[in-house]
Structure 1
Amino acid sequence: MKKSMKRQLLTLLIIFHGNLLLGQTSLNEINLNHGDYKVGFKHYTVSDSTRTYSRAYEYTNHKIARPIPVSIWYPSEQKLGNKSPLQVLNYFEILKEEEEWENLPNDQLLNWFYYPNTPENQLHLKEQTKAYSEIDFAKGKFPVIIYTASFQASSIENFALCEFLASHGYLVISSPSRGTDTRWFSNNLAMEIETQARDVEFLIKEAGNLAIADYSKFAVMGFSFGGLSNIIAQMRNDRIKAIVSLDGTERYQYELLEKSLSFNLDKMDVPYLHMAQKDIPDIVLKEDKIAPELNSKFVLYDSVRKGQTYRLKFHHLTHSYFSSLGILFSERDPRQDKSDPEIMESYKWVSNYTLNFLNAYLKEDENGMAFLETRPEENTSKEGLISQMVKQGERKVFSFQDFNDLASEQNYENLFQLYSSILKEHPSLKLPEGNLNTIGLQLIFNPKTSQQGINVFQLATKLYPNSANLYDSLAEGYLFLGNNEKAIESFQTSLNLNPNNQNAIIRLEQLKN
């Protein structure tokens, strides 16, 4: 007897049932304009030893370290020769691994997992994608996108979008949406949000092991339930610089966010792009017993004050079509779904808005910002495809403490570059001379961080070249390290700036004798 593997779905996820029709689509019909990079793909599993986990279908009390399957799409410049790209089937093989049915025969995939086993869907499995397994990483550093999957979904559910971003110079890393204790969520959804947020934080650290990851440029991107955990993860991780939400459930279940101990609207201070489904038709609201207010209510958008916020509504998309698997394999609902060409076109524009938003805020790309500032009708050349609302965020006051936190994270290296990059976004940034002097001396007189203190004073003397006191402190640092030549040079500079500096006079006499 076949074991049913249909996922439990929340009503709020807006995945409807009824008289359903099969879609006739293909990957090529999305018509995405891919970038200049080849797309590499890797998949492996690591473990989080700080948490425990049980495999759902082994029916045992045995606990293991929480396994984190990791899917990575990345830019590559490798010459491919006769190498063949992945098929959609290869992604489904990852799906069955993440569902803990590794030994399931491939001819049972569609029977077992969510989607109708039709000739059309069998053809989708044979389609070629844009990704190549295990090819070389491109040279250089690339911004990192952490993708969070929807309710109990696979890391590969949005593979077409992830491939698209990688082709344009992004490193995209994803893991499946798993429950706290097993593959499946419990009834405590607030706890499951916390678990997925911790998975996001694990992936941030995992990205640090990849040489091509630009560890100063992170964004999170999530579909449906993944949007909730991304909000919480951003609120407690300063590394996350932007949020992309693909009809994220934070729009529908704001009360779940409020249950988190980490929830703090003052911390949501980064650019935020939320792309929502079309208005739910009256017949669907009535038959599926959905609250009509879901078409208009968005408490989080109304409440956010600090970050620049973009709210888009895609009038040809229902909820499930914000994912690659959804547009290819999901049944269509004749009560509300548009035609396949309209669905595919809308998914293309979801991808384009995602790319331009990330370009604008992670790459400081002027074209990306211009795209966001242009009316959707002008970007798409179509009326009624997308509507948009934009809310200007309050300008964040970037403090010395904020600067010092970032400087500490990079071990006080490349400080002038860090200062210059922050100054572009926060031109009012001030680094008081006295604060730099204090931090520098604190670091210098700790033998483990002495060189870091020297780095602080090198920045400080660039910013305050006429400060005798800073050069005097820098000289003391060199003296502490035993670099007498540099100490004499710095004490002399201090004395030139302030001929009455008695400490410099005494130290120079000692060093020259």
Structure 2
Amino acid sequence: MRHCLLVVFFLATSARAADVFTFPLQPGPHAVGMQVKQQYDYSRVYKTRVSLVTGKGTSGERARPMQALVWYPAARGGKQVSFRDYYATAATEADLTRDAATVNRITDTELAEQTEGWPAGAQALTRPMWAVRDAPAKAGTFPVVIYAPGYSATAAENADLCEYLASHGYIVLSSASQGARQRAMTVDVEGLETQASDIGWLIDQASRMRNADLSRLAVAGFSWGGLANVVAAAKDDRIKALVSLDGSVRYFPQMVDGGKEAIPYVTPARLALPMLYVGRRPATIEELNRKKNSTAYSLLNSMTYADMAVVTLHAMRHQDFSSHGLRLARDSEFGEYSRAEVTQAYGVMAQYVHRFLDGYLKDDMAARAFVANKPAANGVPRHTVSVEVRRGSGVAPTRENFAGQLAARGFDKAMMIYEELQAQGATFKLEPHDINGWGYELLHGGMLAESVAVFRFGTQMHPKDANLHDSLGEALAKAGQRAEAIEHYRRSLSLNPKNTNAVERLQALGAPAAP
């Protein structure tokens, strides 16, 4: 019955007036509240001493302004916000000091420009949406979704999707996509890492909400935000699932392909988490060739350690993944597809996102099956959607999993396990000082046999490192293995004749410096 209802909602949408976007799905079981939270992130500087726009000296607070929109399951009742209300929040994203009069003037001016000659009329933008501003939160705890907008976009870019998820029992937080030192985002590594840090800031904000369950955390992103969320996940393994809405992980492969322009820590091994990629209509080989887009590397294909679902919506252009853009688009802009068909596809996207999140944050097996089904089995019109699902396999070759494998299989097998992970594409490096520190942590923690094994692994990895041989000698001596301890102290001394510690240790063991 649920699948039939989906089709009914889509058909109802097609009968609505032209030039008006109406979200095509019904809300979930929860009423939706929405809050706007404003504060500065004093750990980061935002304003430069001299304005990058005017060239004049800046004034006021220089810390990074952070305005977050928060959607959440709420008690019922209250006045619902409109699209105009969401649009107005953009005026304070980079300047938290603007008063209501200034915000209204900016909002009215911009909307008048964007809707000039619009058949639907600007009044269509004042129709109520689902959320109620500052509604009391519903009792209970809920999974958290961080939403990362596209390049330079506002936090409310996909308010319809965020409301929809909140109605199905999610807390959703979003902040604007803005550069490190200015409102405009920059297409570079600094811009990506800045938005990834903003995602981290939103996670911290969620941790302060008593109804937010951070053990069930996902990050969704559109366009540039669909690459920034991958960067965030590579840094923070508390993120349990990723959603990319036609994300730039596909369009900027050089940022993540391991080459000279790539962010070094964004590797398939560090992205061993389920991902849903919902993409636009596929480009032809000729189109890719004209745009000089390389298909030599795909991070999606390389992320083999966790489940991957790629959903292609044939009616969608890149910009159609933003409900903000759909609300301001004219019918004439959709090309060979109608507004109704694009609206239908947007609804399909929203449902796949919802079901994917249910599957991996709520452990709903029926929802996982929905994502893996052929689209027609889910009530989606035939030939409008393509789905490719791949199950993850193997152990991701990370430093963390290396330690886990040692604990499970034995520290004495360190070299064998390390070589196995290297054969799988491990990129983590263990320098002599890393191994030496690791061995002493084990030694001081009372894990003597494990410390011996790690120091021994270190001398196998770096046979000419005098300090590792010295450390192995110390651990062996503590373990009562005198003869081998002497051997490694002598080896250390041969590599570094100035190692007075080795001389003293050999004397304490009653052994000469040379055999």
Deviations 1:459-491 (CA, angstroms, capped at 9, x unpaired): xxxxxxxxxxxxxxxxxxxxxxxxxxxxxxxxx
Counterpart of 1:342?
Answer: 341
Give the drift of 1:236. Answer: 1.1
Counterpart of 1:92?
Answer: 87
Counterpart of 2:64?
Answer: 66
> CA, structure 1 residues 325+335, in 2 after alignment: closer, same or farther (shift >3 Å)?
closer
The answer to whether the 8 Å contact 2:66/2:93 transfers is: no
Q: Which has the larger radius of gyration?
A: 2
> CA, structure 1 residues 365+335, in 2 after alignment: closer, same or farther (shift >3 Å)?
closer
Give the drift of 1:121. Answer: 5.3
Counterparts of 1:360 and 1:442, CA distance in 2: 40
Secondary structure at the aligned position of 2:256 is classed as helix
Secondary structure at the aligned position of 2:67 is classed as strand
The answer to whether the 8 Å contact 2:269/2:397 transfers is: no
Give the drift of 1:57. Answer: 6.2
Counterpart of 1:39?
Answer: 32
2:18 to 16, 19, 24: 24
Counterparts of 1:71 and 1:117, CA distance in 2: 31
> CA, structure 1 residues 202+297, in 2 after alignment: closer, same or farther (shift >3 Å)?
same
Counterparts of 1:329 and 1:370, CA distance in 2: 35
> CA, structure 1 residues 264+117, in 2 after alignment: closer, same or farther (shift >3 Å)?
farther
Secondary structure at the aligned position of 1:110 is classed as helix
Counterpart of 2:211?
Answer: 212
Give the drift of 1:115. Answer: 6.4
Deviations 1:84-139 (CA, angstroms, capped at 9, x unpaired): 20011100110222265762514212256x66662425133211100000011111
The answer to whether the 8 Å contact 1:219/1:241 transfers is: yes
Deviations 1:321-363 (CA, angstroms, capped at 9, x unpaired): 1011121112456684510110110000000000000000000
The reply on whether 1:50 has 2:43 as its aligned counterpart is yes
Give the drift of 1:305. Answer: 1.5
Counterparts of 1:334 and 1:183, CA distance in 2: 27
Give the drift of 1:282. Answer: 9.1
Identity %, equivalent residues: 28
Secondary structure at the aligned position of 1:250 is classed as coil
Counterpart of 1:302?
Answer: 301
The answer to whether the 8 Å contact 2:177/2:195 transfers is: yes
More deviation in 223-232 or 260-269? 260-269
Counterparts of 1:156 and 1:163, CA distance in 2: 10
Counterpart of 2:265?
Answer: 262
> CA, structure 1 residues 395+98, in 2 after alignment: closer, same or farther (shift >3 Å)?
same
Q: Once superposed, what is the RMSD of the aligned Cα atoms?
A: 3.1
The answer to whether the 8 Å contact 2:18/2:331 transfers is: no
Give the drift of 1:184. Answer: 1.5
The answer to whether the 8 Å contact 1:194/1:260 transfers is: no
Structure 1 regions of 5+ residues with no counterpart? 1-22, 406-437, 444-513
Give the counterpart letter for 1:122 in structure 2: A
Deviations 1:152-185 (CA, angstroms, capped at 9, x unpaired): 0000000000000000000000000000101113
Give the drift of 1:367. Answer: 1.9
Give the drift of 1:297. Answer: 7.0
Counterparts of 1:330 and 1:153, CA distance in 2: 16
The answer to whether the 8 Å contact 1:121/1:329 transfers is: no
Structure 2 regions of 5+ residues with no counterpart? 1-16, 405-440, 447-515
Counterparts of 2:239 and 2:82, CA distance in 1: 32
Give the drift of 1:370. Answer: 1.7
Counterparts of 2:90 and 2:147, CA distance in 1: 15
Counterpart of 2:129?
Answer: 129
Moved over 6 A (4+): 55-58, 397-402
What's the TM-score once normalised by structure 1's chain length?
A: 0.67
Counterpart of 2:202?
Answer: 203
Counterpart of 2:314?
Answer: 315
The answer to whether the 8 Å contact 1:318/1:337 transfers is: no
Give the counterpart letter for 1:110 in structure 2: L
Secondary structure at the aligned position of 1:24 is classed as coil
Aligned length: 378
Give the counterpart letter for 2:83 in structure 1: V
The answer to whether the 8 Å contact 2:65/2:94 transfers is: no
